[in-house]
Amino acid sequence: MDRKIQLGDIYYISLTRDDDVTPKGGLDHRKKYCFVVGFSEYGFYVAYFLMNSEVNKKYINTNERLSCQYPLSHSDYPLIIKPEKDPSFLDLGHVREIEKTRMLTEGKYCGSLTETDHRNIFEWLRDSEQYSPKMKRKYGWV
């Protein structure tokens, strides 16, 4: 557990209903890519967004929610996005938290956001009306 989690890091981890993720295929968990976007509660928790291979129109069905879907390309993330799933989408509209120790012990580090994506995502977070000023301060986006 020597690794230090940094903004923009990508981890692959098994998540459950307790993590607000719906498992599929009769399993009790689902492996997802998590993109670190902040820290809270004195650094014990990591804030992250999930990547989805497609936009789920059942849940993301308003223009406001659709505007929160940030496209990620296979050419930038060839190890995590399959060519047939290009683009995949980072759901900036639903921030989640996980204990830092769990991310480090159960998650697999898979790289970091590109410089361009990092800049665009954090700029969007600073300027977005999706999150309150209090929440933006909590995660260090302002």
Tens digits of pLDDT across the chain (142 residues): 457 899 999 999 999 999 988 888 888 889 999 999 999 877 789 999 999 888 766 666 667 777 789 999 999 999 999 999 999 999 999 999 999 999 999 999 999 999 999 999 999 999 999 899 999 999 999 8
33-69 burial: b if 16+ Cβ within 10 Å, else e:
bbbbbbbbeeeebbbbbbbbeebeeeebeeeebeebb
Instruction: Note the CATH architecture for domain 9-139.
Output: Roll (2.30)
- Look at residue 82 in the predicted model and tell me its pLDDT: 95
- The CA distance from 41 to 18, in Å, is 19
- Look at residue 76 in the predicted model and tell me its pLDDT: 97
- Look at residue 26 in the predicted model and tell me its pLDDT: 82
Cβ pair 11, 110 in contact under 8 A: yes
For residue 3, the 8-state DSSP code is P
- Look at residue 25 in the predicted model and tell me its pLDDT: 82
Beta strands in the chain (DSSP E): 9-15, 30-40, 45-52, 69-72, 88-91, 96-99, 108-112
Q: What is the dihedral of CA 122, 72, 12, 58, to 10 degrees?
A: 100
- Look at residue 48 in the predicted model and tell me its pLDDT: 95
- Look at residue 36 in the predicted model and tell me its pLDDT: 97
